[in-house]
Structure 1
């Protein structure tokens, strides 16, 4: 299901998803209509704009919070026109599984959009690289990230997007053993606990970056 008050953008998203093989079961213009549609026929995932009527502030986030409580099996991908890390954090706190925050500019790459939808539908966490970049690059009086090498920072950034070790291999052209070593170094240097669950791993990294 797709929810966005801009009719042309909404139709464009629906068309991209349909062309990629998704069955788009509803297209709506506000959060209330989305929640009602999900109640009638829960989908595998919804794509929702962060700002919709009536206030155009964070209706999409509120809808994500409600869906996490009522329909935790439904993946939620929130789209935003701007990099807003605080909203991404609020989204993750509303439900750690099947949740994503992606910039609207990514929609110009159909592969990026469809990959994100598939990942949240499967229960994964998706965070836009722009949000991660802002968190990693944030200046602090004492920045523990200074202990990381340049390559370890790159691995940390991809990890925080919700990517698996295999995806890190493909993104950075590294072998699986090399990635495992870098991930181990990152967790050790940042004093984070390794987590078997991919979502918990992402949440731990983002919580650290937000601190």
Structure 2
């Protein structure tokens, strides 16, 4: 198998994980670790699979072809360390990212993530875990925005555990149900919306109270 074939299999891991297991055996854990680490740690690889990878891997755990606890541990470590690398890259580049034209950086995705970050603050690091593309840019923006390392890691670790444990476990129990598997992205986004809407309403309520008190 050449590099381009492997890259294609990675991009469509929801359909090719069985082939990867057959080809690489236990080394597939390292492949999945690398995918999650790169998707969360390098903004240029924001298109790598995230949610589908976790969900489908959980489904393979249910069949006994992969180890549920080992997969969970490795992918949580990958998600935490990937985000940490992205945070440091953002901190190293700093606010120049908004004034310089970096050809390797998707400015539209960066701006959307920055707006999301401005609205929801540190909780963005947790919520963004469940939103493709935003997930990759959120730690980068946190680094650019000078969020303290301790505060970032608190949200980073919490988000990584919720994301990996939630989707791997969901895949374990529901991954072999076609209706759930085929509409995973929509289901995840509805769940995020259910989490974000109460936060937004709470913010509007507090703003209204401040305005009335004046």
Using CA pairs under 8 Å that are at least 6 residues apart, name the structure with larger relative contact order, 1 or 2: 2
Q: Establish whether TM, by shorter chain, passes 0.5.
A: no
TM-score of the superposed pair, with normalisation by structure 1: 0.30
Compare the two structures and name the one with the higher helix fraction: 2
Higher CA-based Rg: 2
TM-score of the superposed pair, with normalisation by structure 2: 0.29
Compare the two structures and name the one with the higher strand fraction: 1
